[in-house]
Every structure is written in C-alpha cells, then in structure tokens.
Amino acid sequence: MYIKKGLTKGNLEALYIMAFRLYEAERTLDALHCFKLMALLNALDKRAWFGCAACFEILKRYGAAIGCYEAASAIDINDLIPLLRIFHCYLESNQKNQALLALDNAIEAAEKHGHLYSELKEHAINMKNILGK
C-alpha cells in the first residue's frame, strides 16, 4: 500500500469515516472531495474509488462514475459489485449496448467465482434478458 510520507493508516481511516458520514448525510460534493483526497493519498484504496464513483453517480456524472468503478474493480478483481454499478451507470445514461457489455463482464466474472456469486450472476442474466427484449 502506498501512503504519502507523514500520513498514517489512522489518518486515512479518519478521512474515510468523515467522507462516509458526509455521504450518508447527503453532502455529496463534500464527500466527493474527501474521497478524491483519499484516492490521491492512496491510489490503491478501493473504498476511495468506490466512494468517488457513488458520489459521481448521485450527481449523474455517469462517465466519471464508470471510470471510478473501473478503478475499484481493477484494485479488487474479486469484488463484482463495481461491475454491476457500471451497468447501472450505462443504463442511466441511455447506453444500452454498453450496459449489455457490462452485464456480460459481470456474468463472466461471476462464473469464475463459482457458487460464491451465483445470485449476482442470476441477477445479471435476468437484467440482460429484460434489456435484450
């Protein structure tokens, strides 16, 4: 984990707690600034990228949200939730073909994890069937 000189894990944890509380309080822009700072200070903190993505999604900045969800997914390839959030962002921005591709990615990733993600896979397949009509 890379942390800027002089910062501790405790400092970053406190920043995360503050960002998350701002997010819960629906202070989206303030939360976004904190999550961005977290990502700047530790680019490998998945929570920072996921937090940025969630804020961007609330702000309907779907392209930025997708990029942040992709970063979160690259950091932890075993977490398939960012892949579904990417699907939702494409869907909300009326990019049906991209949304279907995102579902394919989620299904493929779920298949690699076996029964662990069977519900997620089933959900993705159902969504794909609905969209495909």
Q: What is the pLDDT of residue 27?
A: 98
Q: Are residues 52 and 85 in the same domain?
A: no
1 lies in a domain? yes
Nearest to 72 by CA among 42, 97, 99, 100: 42
Dist CA 14 CA 12 (whole Å): 5
- When pLDDT is cut at 50, 70 and 90, the band that residue 103 belongs to is confident
**CATH number, residue 1:** 1.25.40.10
State which residues form the domain around 90. 77-133
68 lies in a domain? no
Tell which of 60, 85, 110 closes a domain: 60
Q: What is the pLDDT of residue 117?
A: 73
Question: Is residue 80 within 8 Å of 74, Cβ to Cβ?
Answer: no
Whether the pLDDT of residue 114 is over 90: the answer is: no
Q: Are residues 56 and 82 in the same domain?
A: no
Counted domains in the chain: 2
Q: Burial of 48 by CB count in 10 Å (0-12 exposed, 13-18 middle, 19+ buried)?
A: buried
83 lies in a domain? yes
- Dump pLDDT digits (tens) for 14-39: 999 999 999 999 999 999 999 999 99
Nearest to 77 by CA among 118, 119, 105: 105
CA-to-CA dists, residue 19 to 23, 32, 52, 123, angstroms: 6, 7, 10, 30
Question: Is residue 55 within 8 Å of 23, Cβ to Cβ?
Answer: yes
Q: Are residues 83 and 39 in the same domain?
A: no
Whether the pLDDT of residue 1 is over 70: the answer is: no
66 lies in a domain? no
Mean pLDDT, to the nearest integer, of 56-70?
Answer: 98
Q: Are residues 56 and 103 in the same domain?
A: no
